Amino acid sequence: MGLEMDTMASAIGVSIPVLRFLLCFISTLPVSFLWRFIPGTLPKHIYSAFSGALLSYISFGFSSNLHFLVPMLMGYGSMILYRKRCGIITFFTGFGYLIGCHWYYMSGDAWKEGGIDATGALMVLTLKVISCAFNYNDGLLNEEGLREAQKKNRLLRLPSLIEYIGYCLCCGSHFAGPVYEMKDYLEWTEGKGIWSFSGKGAPSPYGATLRALVQAAGCMALYLYLVPHHPLSRFSEPIYQEWGFWKRLSYQYMSGFTARWKYYFIWSISEASIIISGLGFSGWTDSSPPKPLWDRAKNVDIIGVELAKSAVQLPVYWNIQVSTWLRHYVYERLVPKGKKAGFIQLLLTQTISAVWHGLYPGYIIFFVQSALMIAGARVIYRWKQAVPENKGLAKKFLDLIGLAYTLLVLNYSCVGFLVLDLHETIASYASVYYIGTILPIMLILLSKIIKPPRPAKSKARKDE
């Protein structure tokens, strides 16, 4: 078996630990499919917990489940002992443990050298544990003062321990997400809510699963084709410094473009796993006859990312479920009641996202850069909104500016996310004269001078 693993790993150009992880990751498809045939609610929770723990053990070793137990037990303990503050307690203890693991394992170095550990799965698990605690905390609050997401996801009762573990480890979904809510997991398992299917049969997931798998295959094929032509090592090679400005800038674009297809592949597989289990179902269309929607597990809109007209749209298209988590459990909760969110809330949210990814300087720089990128994109958006509707050409021009701005600044910024090292990140930014940093700052400063007029209030509004 060891020889076969070595042969397979050599054939596809990965290490044995990475191959083992990939096999376990792909195994989440049949594991999730079999969940459908487990009879009864309690057996389903047991199966979810056991299958996730077993896949983790095979992929990462026994220590992985010990690591997972720490934030899980801290979160559950806080819900039992101090419900009134369990959300914020779990947030700091969960992130504290994750940061400790990031510091100890420094997984980015291992990943670059072909290794892998359980830190990536722990990242997803941490978000699940925190959201569960916040939702149980919200169950104490007056519904009138809650946001729509809080009303929808709040928990009025404490989940049992087996429900909690099943939610955290369900069918290996903690490997790469997507992040989903405890309330959705419980209703799915119990056949309630949108999963009750009263008056109509359960929709077939197979067509949507097949589409996700075809997308995954296409993404991996394109990645394998592109990656030999755009290695990240090129940034530290002498030939890169010999190139002119435009060639360096285009290489930054292509390196970011290439790397994204690897993530598209991973998220497409995880989407297929959640869809085939049934958890990916999110309701019915308004058409006649109604058709099932399967976007609960959707983590990326590839066309949306690659052709985004504004950087503000990127969180809606990229790593969608984590972006949603950050909005509901960080960004919105940082805004005082009666106040509007500003750059500080955006910067803090992006910083927390950076720390969640790891402690490398490249992550920190990328997410600070992304806060600048989004702030600059908002300036372009406000200018566009100020253009009268009859000036269609001007609006199209600003759309084109927004697209070019997003492509340039996103792929410039993501070099830090990819290379991680401080020196390499700064050197790559310097090689294009920090254009992706200077441009958003210039737009922000320019917005102080060229202030778009506020949209005129409608007559109905004036009469109120």
- Which residues does the annotation mark as catalytic? 357
How far is Cα 390 from Cα 185, in angstroms, rounded to an integer? 48
Contact, 166 vs 45, CB < 8 A?
yes
How far is Cα 273 from Cα 53, in angstroms, rounded to an integer? 16
How far is Cα 107 from Cα 101, in angstroms, rounded to an integer? 9
Tokens 């992040």 belong to residue: 179
The number of residues making up the chain comes to 464
Q: 299 φ, ψ to 5°?
A: -115, -10
Burial state string for 197-234 with b = 16 or more CB within 10 A and e = fewer than 16: eeeeeebebeebbeebbebbeebbebbeebbeebebee
CA count, 13 A, side-chain hemisphere, 31:
23
Torsion of CA 454, 457, 462, 464, to 10 degrees: -100
The candidate with the shortest Cα–Cα distance to 83, out of 154, 27, 186, 181, is 154
Residue 192 is classified by DSSP as -
Q: 300 φ, ψ to 5°?
A: -155, 145
Burial state string for 403-438 with b = 16 or more CB within 10 A and e = fewer than 16: eebbbbbbbbbbbbbbbbbeebbebbbebbeeebbe
How far is Cα 237 from Cα 114, in angstroms, rounded to an integer? 21
CA count, 13 A, side-chain hemisphere, 136:
28
The candidate with the shortest Cα–Cα distance to 162, out of 65, 76, 78, 70, is 76
Query: Any bridge partners for residue 318, and if so which?
Result: 300
Contact, 412 vs 435, CB < 8 A?
yes
Burial class (CB in 10 A: 0-12, 13-18, 19+), 65: middle
How far is Cα 377 from Cα 454, in angstroms, rounded to an integer? 18
Rg, Å, the chain Cα set? 23
Contact, 308 vs 406, CB < 8 A?
yes
